[in-house]
Amino acid sequence: MSIVVNDLSYRYGNADNSQFALEHVSFTVEEGAFLGIAGHTGSGKSTLVQHLNGLIPCEKGHVLIDGHDLSDKAERRLVRSLVGMVFQYPEYQLFAETVYDDIAFGPRNMKLPEEEIKARVLYALERVGLDPDAFSGKSPFELSGGEKRRAALAGVLAMRPKYLVLDEPMAGLDPIGRQAILAILEDLRREEGCTILMISHSMEDLARHATRMLVLDGGRIAFDDTPKAVFMHAEELFRLGLSVPQMTCLGMLLKQNGFDAPTVFNDEQPLLDWIEGRMRHA
């Protein structure tokens, strides 16, 4: 089963001369993948992911989630139970009196029995690293910034989505908070087979975690390949207003200056070893 996007186009406004936010976008995401989505501001990233559970209806083209066509209104409700969405600053969506009730909101809308709702809330809290005994009864507005982010993510995980779509989920977090969220995502993918689709401006994060990268430019796909293959096109990425991982950039600069430094992508250790060796023999 998979996500299939086929010839998807979309533009805001009805004027014939309005600019396309997406234009003839096609790709497939296989089950269990970690797809990193990159692109400069206005490239169409958020518009794309909002099509994946019907928040934006398909105008031209098709989005299929496990064979369910989101062009069909009757299919959208089912698909929304398969695809969980986490937006930028998801803590702004917290609203209930307690963390428990906030996380339980989605399962209650699914008309699940209270026993199942409780099990899902406890599962979600434990999955994001929040002790149910310590956090269930707290007001979400008493939590720290990182705890709020985790509680908001737990509210999506309680729906038990098969596909998890995240729009810059680490925005505004410190490095420790970023690593905590990324570790949660990796655990979900490794232990439960959850498919991850994540928009990110951090090339380091995508290099380390994505199994595949989709780069958008002007509503079109510029690259669709492994992170290593994408980062080999550093000059073109720079022209698109993007970057490559810092250690990749350093290795490339050394090569351009005549050194035999290794080019690294998601593991900087070979380059660090090379630098250490050069220093020993300097």
Same domain as 182, residue 55: yes
Q: What's the pTM? A: 0.90
Same domain as 45, residue 166: yes
The domain of 30 spans 1-82+161-236
Q: Is residue 90 part of a domain?
A: no
Query: For the chain, what is the domain count?
Result: 3
Q: What is the pLDDT of residue 64?
A: 95
The 10s digit of each residue's pLDDT in 105-114 is 999 998 999 9
Same domain as 179, residue 151: no
CA-based torsion, 95, 101, 104, 108: positive or negative: negative
Whether residue 223 contacts residue 212, with contact meaning beta carbons closer than 8 Å, is answered with: no
Same domain as 115, residue 63: no
Q: What is the pLDDT of residue 136?
A: 95
Q: What is the pLDDT of residue 222?
A: 97
The 10s digit of each residue's pLDDT in 24-78 is 999 999 999 999 999 999 999 999 999 998 999 888 999 999 999 998 888 888 8
The CATH number given to whatever domain includes residue 65 is: 3.40.50.300
Structure tokens given for 39:
């692109």
Sole residue written with tokens 């290593």: 228
Q: What is the pLDDT of residue 260?
A: 86
Q: Which residue stretches of the chain have pLDDT < 50?
A: none
Q: Is residue 92 part of a domain?
A: no
Q: What is the pLDDT of residue 189?
A: 94
Same domain as 119, residue 189: no
Taking the C-alpha atoms of residue 253 and residue 261, their distance in angstroms, rounded to an integer, is: 9
Q: What is the pLDDT of residue 15?
A: 55
CA-based torsion, 82, 87, 91, 93: positive or negative: negative
Q: Distance from first CA to last CA of the chain, Å, rounded?
A: 55
Same domain as 71, residue 30: yes
Taking the C-alpha atoms of residue 86 and residue 49, their distance in angstroms, rounded to an integer, is: 10
Q: What is the pLDDT of residue 282?
A: 63
Same domain as 71, residue 173: yes
